[in-house]
Structure 1
């Protein structure tokens, strides 16, 4: 089974896809379940409105913003297998005995999307790219959602 080719143009499209994956079930192509993907996407989205303690050093952020961000936004794709900040990895701060469930993470993700969409003013600097425009933040989140949810195929 192959990954899906997704290119979300709106958060409504993202939420519809998440609901379909939750309702219909899914086949996992990658390493993470729906709950794990949604936790990762939620944490990333929250970093636009809630200060985080992780991020790359300023000189690297500058280079990433100059070279990588335009490629992501123009091509509307992210490469697989890139290292993720430890604060964004599912289970990074959860006891090994705790489990995640799709329903709980779906609800938390929907709340995060609504908070992100309804945020007034500029977003905080991006942990990887530094200060970027509101539009860039939004498009980056849509591409990021497309990337991760492409590893889950509805049944």
Structure 2
């Protein structure tokens, strides 16, 4: 698998990167298309506002360990590849890049406007809004890093 090392200061940079990939074209260095990455990112982001399935709270006792082991790696752009996600966050294969980019953009705008309660992250627990945005931006950098822009000729 080919992978670029991306770092986003915020979610707007993730949207900008998605648009650049859509404009230039891309090659998959991993398993997902741009549409699939956008759908996955949107679903996980929206859960911060709408809530996670109750069964995900079963991981609460191990959150301190997960937070200690994985959060620093995620934030520095060294997130491990190949960790399976919950089925509810798995995107289908038959989606259109432009449509899913548009939905991801709306999700980012919604997250940034949201001033209410944010649900605890299943792996990292209760976080401040700024920390959660940093995690979502790092998560986006991880997935978008597997999409390789087609060089302009």
Aligned to 1:95: none
DSSP-derived class of the 1:27 partner: strand
Aligned to 1:42: 42
Q: How far apart are residue 103 of structure 1 and its match? A: 1.2
Q: Deviations over 1:55-105 (max 9, x none)?
A: 2522122321243224433x23311011211111112xxxxxx82111110
Structure 2 unaligned segments of length 5 or more: list them: none
DSSP-derived class of the 2:48 partner: coil
DSSP-derived class of the 2:50 partner: coil
Larger deviation: 104-113 or 15-24?
15-24
DSSP-derived class of the 1:16 partner: helix
Aligned to 1:15: 15
TM-score, normalisation: structure 2 = 0.87
Aligned to 2:114: 119
Aligned to 2:6: 6
Match for residue 63 of structure 2 among 47, 61, 64: 61
Q: How far apart are residue 122 of structure 1 and its match? A: 4.4
Paired residues in the alignment total: 148
TM-score, normalisation: structure 1 = 0.86
| 1:47 and 1:127 in contact (8 A); partners too | no
Q: How far apart are residue 153 of structure 1 and its match? A: 1.0
Aligned to 1:139: 134
Residue 51 (structure 1) aligned with residue 46 (structure 2): no
Root mean square deviation of aligned Cα: 1.8
Counterpart CA distance in 2 for 1:121 and 1:44 is 17
Q: How far apart are residue 25 of structure 1 and its match? A: 1.0
Counterpart CA distance in 2 for 1:129 and 1:2 is 27
Aligned to 1:84: 85
Structure 1 unaligned segments of length 5 or more: list them: 92-97
DSSP-derived class of the 1:83 partner: coil
